[in-house]
Amino acid sequence: MPLRTMHLDPEMTVGQLQKTHSISSVGQLLPYGNIKHTGLPEGIEELEQTPVEFNAGKLDYADEQKIYTTQPMCFDEQGRLVGAPDSERTECFISGYLKRKIASTPNIGARIPRPSSTMYRISESLGKGLGMFATKDIPAGELILAERPLMIVPITATTTRDGDIPKHLTLHQMQQVLLQDTEVVYKVLIDRLEPDRKKAFYELANSHLHNGSGPILGRIRTNGFGFNEMRDLAPGMCGGYSIVCDELSRLNHSCSPNTFHRWDMPSFTVQLRAARHIKKDEEITTTYIDLTTIAANRQKQLAPYQIVCNCTSCANHSVSDPRRLACINWEKQNAGYVFGHFDPESKPALGPLMAAYKTYVAEGLEATSGFGQVLEMLMGSCAKHGDVPNTKLFAKKFGVWKLSQNGSAGNSKELERLLMALAKWMSIMKTQQKLKLR
Ligand SMILES: [Zn+2]
């Protein structure tokens, strides 16, 4: 039976959904909170799922066909496929398109990078269940953990039921059918996990206990990460994927997170790096939401996770909100900026840039692209103003930011050298001009 994943037409309203009764329109409207009637509506039979054969080497699937597959593929020195790795395997339910994309990644199946030493412990976090805590001081940019996910599944609900859902069902009942079907489809995947990884999956938190999500989908909805590199982008496809890890699932939310995480395709891992200096015993955090908005909006975004955030910024929102708004305004004013494009003509005033820098730091927004932009503009402007010490300071900070966001500092060292030369030259010019004026 062909497997497919539901996509939601973003233009479609709930009213239209109820009219069309198309399964393909309901999948992304997953309910949360306390739902009164859950489970399959009367008269709807449970979905039967036949496990699908796995062949690591097979790549000639249709773009949109969904398959069960163990990843990453590994190749020997002659480039021959040797199958999935011996351990730390990821069970995936992905499209033919994505499987081909993974297979064509240079150096796929690369060794998992390990931090220089153990950086964290998992222990109780007050009022939040388990959390991740630093076991030592961790400098900004440092790799904290690289983890191969337990599983990767579509972000939407999934069914193998053919055709439309019976017309007499309400939208709510259609959602419940999809939730139940998704559970059946993903159970096949869970049963393919190695025993210790299966155990780890069932030990994850589940904040979707009362909306009809089963124990598998509930855990996926609670713990999944999404990454742009893992999307179906073939023509006519728009699906994202949910990537579920074990240890990384213990990262709690903060509106001032101290880490960046990114997807690394060759090693097939999620990598976590410090976005600023993290002190020993401090909780290591990430964000589940968009951070450049005021506290009330953040609370709305956190509602599906059943989180009422009481971080410093949320608790002191009268102080924090004006600062967040200042960051939003700064980003709006500098929206045309292109990363890595050094404009020799522009020489922004240092005052507003320094003010923006201080506001981002005060709000703990180092793990945002806005902060990277502030640093990049600051180092360039300091150099053009002939401010040698600050050019060095912000060029170094930008290199570390890039490393933590990107996994690589790129050409930052070379850039720092050039900017320092420019800063020194501008400084000499300024001194000469002053002498002339005397
Ligand atoms: Zn908060």
**Range among 137-146, 189-198, 330-339 rated most confident:** 137-146
Considering the domain boundaries, does residue 80 fall inside one? yes
Instruction: State pLDDT tens for residues 207-231.
Output: 888 877 889 998 998 888 888 889 8
Neighbour count for residue 82 (Cβ, 10 Å)? 13
Do 234 and 326 fall into the same domain?
A: no
pLDDT value at residue 344 = 74
Instruction: State pLDDT tens for residues 239-260.
Output: 889 999 999 999 999 999 999 9
Q: Which residues pair with 330 in a beta bridge?
A: none
Do 63 and 200 fall into the same domain?
A: yes
Per the CB < 8 A criterion, the answer to whether 30 and 6 are in contact is no
Whose structure tokens read 């102080």? 319
Number of domains in the chain: 2
Give dist(CA 372, CA 270) in Å, integer. 21
Alpha helices in 21-139 (DSSP H): 23-26, 96-103
CB burial of residue 34 (10 Å; 0-12, 13-18, 19+): exposed
Residue that wins the pLDDT comparison between 188 and 395: 395
Kindly give the distance from the C-alpha atom of residue 302 to the centroid of ligand 1, in angstroms, as a whole number: 9
pLDDT value at residue 193 = 93
Considering the domain boundaries, does residue 261 fall inside one? no
Do 198 and 58 fall into the same domain?
A: yes
Q: Return the DSSP state at 87.
A: S
Phi and psi torsions of 374, nearest 5°: -60, -50
Distance of CA 308 to the CA centre of its chain: 21
Residue 419 is part of which domain span? Answer: 317-437
**Range among 16-25, 114-123, 343-352 rated most confident:** 114-123
Kindly give the distance from the C-alpha atom of residue 291 to the centroid of ligand 1, in angstroms, as a whole number: 9
Per the CB < 8 A criterion, the answer to whether 147 and 248 are in contact is yes
Do 89 and 186 fall into the same domain?
A: yes
Do 227 and 82 fall into the same domain?
A: yes
Last residue within a domain, chosen from 240, 272, 292: 240
Phi and psi torsions of 375, nearest 5°: -65, -45
Considering the domain boundaries, does residue 137 fall inside one? no
Kindly give the distance from the C-alpha atom of residue 290 to the centroid of ligand 1, in angstroms, as a whole number: 11
309: left (phi over 0), alpha (psi -120 to 50) or beta: beta
- The closest alpha carbon to 324, from 16, 261, 316, belongs to 316
Per the CB < 8 A criterion, the answer to whether 286 and 257 are in contact is yes
Considering the domain boundaries, does residue 107 fall inside one? yes
Kindly give the distance from the C-alpha atom of residue 298 to the centroid of ligand 1, in angstroms, as a whole number: 7
Kindly give the distance from the C-alpha atom of residue 311 to the centroid of ligand 1, in angstroms, as a whole number: 4
Pairing mode of beta strands 283-286, 252-253: parallel
